[in-house]
């Protein structure tokens, strides 16, 4: 359940540029938040601990990786992941002999199954830390998260900042592209997305191959290996991803209140990420799927209430 420190910024419908700018300002203004430190833990976990302190009851972490999100004793968490620990260890040998992948309580393919194993309004919290960027259909997963959360249930959402990772030479994923994937009910990362990752991260990852050699027909095994490893399919910075949350509220009627914020580069974070804690507003509702024409990204994205 949400703590008493909930920030009074809602993503109710309809909202326009004012709400989005307020969300962005809150992100920028949170960098000075004081945090009680625990000298026994790395400074890079401080914001995670603060985010975790909002949690209680029962919930899930989707795709926990080899470092599950820290939660307090009053929060009972189950893990949802596609692979058993042994498979994860074989896919990521660079993490060492004992990377510490937890055994999933629920085995699910996050693109195909999503959260279908969870009932409506059954969870007090959902943790999605560095997960959405790996998925074929991030909006569909956010819809699922809203579905399974109880009223006032919490979403802990962390994402990598594309400017500060090996994605720094890639173009951001436009909102219109995410909406098209959602409307088409995409459930698999296609070869084009994998190739975009392989080509776009060549320099930062030290791949010296000529770009002319990146021909999908000659890279079948490499493409499939990276699909199984679940690469960064989509990339954003904090301002760009804020548009996604506004879309959820304005076009799908999925409402959130803002509880806490991790701005890019915040002290007490890993330095290459941003995130929020959101509280679900309202009860169950039918998703309204509407097709509409999106203007060019550089002209701004249309939402009810104005043009961003």
State the average pLDDT for the chain: 83
The CA distance from 88 to 85, in Å, is: 5
- Let me know whether 166 and 217 are in one domain: no
Give per-residue pLDDT as tens, 88-111: 888 888 777 666 888 999 999 999
pLDDT of res. 241 = 97
Against a cut of 0.75, is the pTM above it? yes
Give per-residue pLDDT as tens, 16-50: 445 555 566 665 555 434 444 444 556 678 999 99
Other Cβ atoms within 10 Å of 52 Cβ, number: 19
**DSSP conformation class of 218:** G
The CA distance from 75 to 58, in Å, is: 6
The CA distance from 159 to 142, in Å, is: 13
> Is 151 within the bounds of a domain?
yes
- Let me know whether 181 and 219 are in one domain: no
> Is 2 within the bounds of a domain?
no
- Let me know whether 83 and 180 are in one domain: yes
Tokens of 270: 């890993």
Instruction: Flag whether pLDDT at 66 surpasses 70.
Output: yes
Mean pLDDT of 248-265: 93
Q: How many domains does the chain have?
A: 2
**Domain of residue 295, residue span:** 10-189+235-307
Give per-residue pLDDT as tens, 77-89: 999 999 888 888 8
Percentage of residues in the chain with pLDDT exceeding 90? Answer: 65
- Let me know whether 219 and 239 are in one domain: no
> Is 3 within the bounds of a domain?
no
Cβ atoms of 71 and 55 within 8 Å: the answer is yes
Domain boundary among 178, 205, 229: 229
Nearest Cα neighbor of 234 from 136, 123, 145, 301 is 136
Mean pLDDT of 218-226: 92
Q: What is the enclosing helix (H) or strand (E) of 28?
A: helix 17-29
Other Cβ atoms within 10 Å of 49 Cβ, number: 18
> Is 45 within the bounds of a domain?
yes
Lowest-confidence region among 23-27, 72-76, 204-208: 23-27
Cβ atoms of 132 and 142 within 8 Å: the answer is yes
- Let me know whether 98 and 225 are in one domain: no
Q: What is the enclosing helix (H) or strand (E) of 275?
A: strand 273-281
- 94: three-class secondary structure by DSSP: helix
- What CATH number does the domain containing 130 carry? 3.40.50.150
Other Cβ atoms within 10 Å of 150 Cβ, number: 18
Instruction: Flag whether pLDDT at 134 surpasses 70.
Output: yes
Domain boundary among 203, 229, 255: 229
């Amino acid at each position: 359940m949400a703590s008493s420190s909930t920030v009074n910024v809602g993503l109710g419908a309809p909202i326009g540029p004012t709400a989005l700018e307020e969300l962005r300002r809150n992100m920028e203004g949170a960098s000075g938040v004081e945090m009680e430190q625990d000298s026994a833990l790395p400074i890079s976990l401080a914001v995670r601990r603060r985010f975790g302190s909002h949690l209680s009851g029962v919930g899930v972490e989707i795709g926990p990786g080899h470092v599950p999100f820290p939660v307090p004793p009053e929060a009972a968490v189950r893990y949802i992941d596609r692979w058993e620990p042994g498979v994860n260890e074989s896919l990521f040998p660079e993490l060492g002999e004992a990377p510490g992948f937890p055994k999933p309580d629920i085995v699910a393919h996050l693109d195909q199954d999503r959260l279908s194993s969870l009932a409506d309004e059954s969870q007090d919290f959902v943790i999605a830390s560095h997960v959405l960027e790996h998925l074929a259909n991030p909006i569909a997963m956010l819809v699922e998260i809203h579905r399974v959360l109880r009223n006032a249930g919490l979403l802990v959402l962390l994402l990598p900042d594309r400017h500060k990772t090996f994605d720094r030479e890639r173009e951001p994923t436009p909102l219109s592209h995410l909406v098209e994937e959602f409307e088409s009910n995409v459930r698999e990362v296609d070869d084009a997305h994998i190739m975009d990752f392989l080509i776009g991260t060549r320099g930062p990852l030290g791949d010296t191959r000529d770009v002319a050699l990146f021909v999908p027909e000659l890279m079948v095994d490499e493409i499939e290996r990276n699909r199984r490893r679940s690469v960064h399919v989509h990339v954003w910075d904090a301002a760009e991803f804020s548009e996604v949350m506004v879309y959820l509220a304005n076009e799908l009627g999925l409402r959130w209140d803002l509880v806490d914020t991790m701005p890019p580069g915040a002290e007490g974070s890993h330095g290459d990420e941003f995130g929020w804690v959101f509280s679900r507003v309202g009860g169950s509702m039918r998703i309204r799927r509407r097709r509409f024409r999106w203007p060019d990204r550089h002209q701004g994205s249309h939402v009810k209430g104005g043009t961003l």
